[in-house]
């Protein structure tokens, strides 16, 4: 990964996303979304249903350590893993506050 801060949540601990908005079609996508990997440049999001499309841009509210961040990202790949879909979401212009928080948090984890 391109010199980025990375956090892998502890086993059985995930960050939830309540819903994701399709930025182009202006519609809410409801589902059970779990963030299984956090970094300054991308998130890995898992879902029990195939709800997101590769190449599409989405917006969502991501709460990291109780702090809400408005995020925008593009799905760069999706993979079937057993009963769930896993999406790699490349973040588009994440806020400086978010990036600082992730960098600080990842340095504490080492």
CA angle 55, 59, 62 (to 5 degrees): 120
DSSP class of residue 66? T
Mean pLDDT, residues 22-27:
84
- Look at residue 3 in the predicted model and tell me its pLDDT: 61
pLDDT tens for each residue of 53-78: 999 999 999 988 888 999 999 999 99
Facing residues of 56 across strands? Answer: none
Cα dihedral across residues 6, 12, 13, 14: positive or negative: positive
What's the mean pLDDT when you consider all of the chain?
86
- Look at residue 8 in the predicted model and tell me its pLDDT: 62
Q: Which domains does the chain have, with CATH numbers?
A: 6-104 (2.40.10.220)
Residue 5 pLDDT greater than 90, yes or no: no
């Amino acid at each position: 990964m391109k010199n980025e801060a990375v956090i892998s949540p502890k086993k059985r601990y995930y960050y939830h996303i309540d819903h994701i908005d399709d930025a182009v079609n202006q519609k809410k996508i409801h589902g059970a979304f779990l963030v299984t990997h956090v970094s300054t440049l991308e998130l890995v999001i898992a879902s029990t249903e195939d709800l997101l499309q590769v190449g599409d841009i989405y917006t969502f509210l991501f709460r990291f350590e109780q702090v809400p961040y408005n995020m925008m990202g593009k799905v760069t790949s999706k993979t079937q893993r057993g009963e769930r879909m896993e999406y790699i979401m490349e973040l588009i212009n994440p806020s400086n506050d978010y990036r600082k928080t992730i960098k600080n948090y990842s340095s504490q984890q080492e």
